[in-house]
């Protein structure tokens, strides 16, 4: 006889796991999480872990703020490290247009309860000497942003769901087919058939589109290559804090990593990657092309040895905003638009609300619902990597 659940979640990444956790907090019924490999296998454990409430839209700001609080709260609840390091975050403006756009966002963030300020180059030099501030018109600084160590994020939220009696985490469990059955769904997996009232598609960059297609639903979640390198040391450690920094126009960011630094970048010329692979080849030609750029922006990185380099599939949506929706009765879709570490806990919170109560409060519908991709788009997250256009 098929096992029966209130909800089957496809994908045990940051999004699926946090949704299950929030549902358990609400006293929701039995939930199965089906993961074709193991919890955290996908983009989640390959990410850079940059966490910011310094977003470019109301949704981005709120999800960022809730998420960084939730990471810390979960660590305390489990009696473990949260994996979160508060460092502060500078997003650097190189042009007049960027300066204007960044300054325009200051009030929105304050209204959403996020402290942020404009910092001019003279003040920037005084506070954070690793950046060549002469190249910039200034930056917006958020003191409470920082980064997480992705393996600890995966460990904590996996441990949290394993503690819940109402949740079954089914690993090595590939979902191959979903069919409507009565008032719910029948989910065919490599571990048998599951009967369920509802299904959540949290398949991430390498699953969201295919899982939705099982019910003939189109979900615009694509995947592109994103690249990371780490340096075991930097030329000169900054005198005070070592905050995160992001040169938006170049699509390059830097954060501390133990005694050294981590640098992430996306090539704006990249196209969507249809290979269905998470692990992709590191583009050393692009690396060499961009090296003079990052060495000029962050001079203490110049000539430093590299300890690790990797490239992996990152998810994106056409407007860089998330998807929290129910495109078919009882079939839900959750996607992070490439921000699943900084938004994952908050996205899980809001998806749990939609599943349990049928509504999402506190976020503008036009920034989260699938319908926005059918009409003229009003919003876009202004602070995002240079993902492919569509
Ligand atoms: C190199 C890199 C750096 C990044 N850096 C950051 C960052 O600094 N900050 C940030 O916020 N975000 C970052 N991201 C993005 C972030 O990692 C993702 O947005 C987030 O992990 C998405 O979480 P998810 O749960 O949607 O997807 P995933 O973590 O990919 O989880 C989805 C899971 O679904 C499973 N699955 C898919 N299909 C099926 C199926 N049919 N049956 C069963 N299981 C299935 C997969 O195996 C996978 O484990 C980065 C991503 C990459 C690749």
Residue with the smallest CA separation from ligand 1 atom 50 is: 47
Q: Write down the pLDDT at residue 259.
A: 95
Q: Write down the pLDDT at residue 377.
A: 63
Tell me, in angstroms, the distance from the centre of ligand 1 to residue 101's CA. 29
Q: In sequence order, what are the residues at sequence separation of 6 or more whose Cβ sits closer than 8 angstroms to the Cβ of residue 311?
A: 225, 226, 227, 228, 279, 280, 281, 282, 283
Q: Write down the pLDDT at residue 386.
A: 82
Rounded alpha-carbon distances, angstroms, from residue 379 to 56, 59, 318, 334, 375: 10, 10, 11, 18, 12
- The count of C-alpha atoms lying within 13 angstroms of the C-alpha of 33, restricted to the half-sphere facing its C-beta, is 31
- Residue 211 zone, left/alpha/beta (φ > 0; ψ -120 to 50; rest): alpha
Contact of 251 with 385, CB cutoff 8 Å: yes
Ligand 1 within 6 A of 16 CB? yes
Ligand 1 within 6 A of 37 CB? yes
The DSSP code sequence of 84-112 is EEE--EEEEE-SHHHHHHHHHHHHHHHHT
DSSP assigned state of 261: E
Residue with the smallest CA separation from ligand 1 atom 15 is: 338
Multiple choice CATH, 3-46+151-221+319-373, 1.10.10.410, 3.40.50.1000, 3.40.50.970, 3.50.50.60: 3.50.50.60
Ligand 1 within 6 A of 35 CB? yes
Q: Facing residues of 51 across strands?
A: 146
Tell me, in angstroms, the distance from the centre of ligand 1 to residue 248's CA. 22
- The count of C-alpha atoms lying within 13 angstroms of the C-alpha of 257, restricted to the half-sphere facing its C-beta, is 24
Q: What are all long-range contacts of 255-259, with beta carbons under 8 Å and residues at least 24 apart?
A: 255/48, 255/49, 255/50, 255/87, 255/147, 256/85, 256/87, 256/147, 257/230, 257/231, 258/232, 259/232, 259/233
Q: Is the dihedral of CA 297, 302, 307, 313 positive or negative?
A: positive
The DSSP code sequence of 337-368 is TT-HHHHHHHHHHHHHHHHHHS---SS-GGGT
Residue 28 backbone dihedrals phi, psi, to 5 degrees: -65, 165
Contact of 287 with 228, CB cutoff 8 Å: no
Ligand 1 within 6 A of 161 CB? no
Tell me, in angstroms, the distance from the centre of ligand 1 to residue 262's CA. 19
- The count of C-alpha atoms lying within 13 angstroms of the C-alpha of 64, restricted to the half-sphere facing its C-beta, is 29
What is d(CA 50, CA 140) in angstroms, rounded to the nearest whole number?
Answer: 16
- The tokens describing 3, both together, are 């096992």
Parts of the chain with a pLDDT under 50: none
- The count of C-alpha atoms lying within 13 angstroms of the C-alpha of 245, restricted to the half-sphere facing its C-beta, is 25
Distance of CA 186 to the CA centre of its chain: 30
Contact of 152 with 165, CB cutoff 8 Å: no
Q: Write down the pLDDT at residue 61.
A: 98
Q: Write down the pLDDT at residue 317.
A: 95
Multiple choice CATH, 87-146+222-316, 3.40.30.10, 3.40.50.980, 3.30.9.10, 1.10.620.20: 3.30.9.10
Tell me, in angstroms, the distance from the centre of ligand 1 to residue 157's CA. 14
What is d(CA 320, CA 332) in angstroms, rounded to the nearest whole number?
Answer: 19
Atom of ligand 1 nearest to the CA of 335: 26
Tell whether pTM > 0.95.
yes
DSSP assigned state of 173: -
Q: Write down the pLDDT at residue 295.
A: 98
Tell me, in angstroms, the distance from the centre of ligand 1 to residue 340's CA. 7
Ligand 1 within 6 A of 219 CB? no
Tell me, in angstroms, the distance from the centre of ligand 1 to residue 287's CA. 23
241: closest CA among 92, 53, 89?
Answer: 89
DSSP H helices, 181-264, are: 208-213
What is d(CA 251, CA 41) in angstroms, rounded to the nearest whole number?
Answer: 25
> What are the sequence ranges of the domains in the chain?
3-46+151-221+319-373, 87-146+222-316
Tell me, in angstroms, the distance from the centre of ligand 1 to residue 344's CA. 10
Ligand 1 within 6 A of 342 CB? yes
């Amino acid at each position: 006889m098929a096992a029966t659940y209130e909800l089957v979640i496809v994908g045990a990444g940051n999004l699926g796991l946090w949704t299950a956790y929030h549902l358990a907090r609400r006293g929701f019924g039995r939930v199965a999480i089906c993961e074709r490999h193991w919890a955290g296998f996908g983009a989640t454990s390959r990410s850079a872990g940059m966490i910011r409430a310094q977003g470019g839209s109301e949704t981005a700001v709120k999800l960022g703020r809730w998420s960084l609080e939730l990471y810390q709260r979960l660590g305390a609840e489990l009696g473990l490290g949260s994996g979160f390091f508060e460092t502060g975050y500078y997003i650097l403006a190189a042009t007049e247009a960027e300066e204007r756009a960044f300054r325009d966002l200051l009030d929105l963030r304050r209204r959403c309860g996020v402290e942020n300020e404009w910092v001019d180059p003279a003040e920037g030099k005084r506070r954070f000497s690793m950046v060549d501030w002469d190249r910039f018109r200034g930056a917006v600084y958020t003191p409470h942003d920082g980064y997480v160590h992705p393996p600890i994020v995966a460990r904590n939220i996996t441990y949290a769901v394993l503690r819940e009696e109402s949740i079954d985490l089914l690993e090595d469990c590939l979902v191959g087919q979903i069919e409507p059955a009565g008032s719910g769904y029948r989910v065919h997996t490599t571990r048998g058939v599951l009967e369920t009232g509802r299904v959540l598609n949290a398949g991430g960059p390498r699953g969201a589109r295919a899982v939705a297609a099982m019910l003939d639903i189109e979900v615009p979640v694509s995947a592109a290559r994103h690249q990371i390198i780490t340096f075991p040391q930097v030329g000169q450690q900054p005198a005070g804090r070592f905050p995160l920094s992001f040169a938006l126009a170049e699509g390059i960011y830097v954060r501390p990593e133990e005694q050294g630094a981590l640098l992430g970048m996306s090539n704006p010329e990249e196209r969507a990657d249809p290979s269905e692979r998470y692990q992709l080849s590191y583009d050393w030609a692009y690396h060499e092309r961009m090296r003079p750029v990052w060495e000029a922006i962050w001079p203490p990185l110049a000539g430093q040895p590299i300890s690790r380099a990797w490239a992996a599939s990152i998810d994106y949506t056409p407007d860089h905003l998330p998807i929290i929706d129910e495109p078919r009765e009882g079939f839900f879709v959750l996607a992070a638009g490439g921000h699943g570490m900084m938004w994952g806990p908050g996205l899980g919170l809001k998806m749990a609300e939609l599943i349990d109560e049928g509504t999402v409060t506190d976020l503008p519908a036009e920034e989260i619902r699938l319908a926005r991709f059918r009409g003229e788009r009003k919003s876009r997250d202004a602070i995002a990597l240079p993902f492919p256009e569509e």
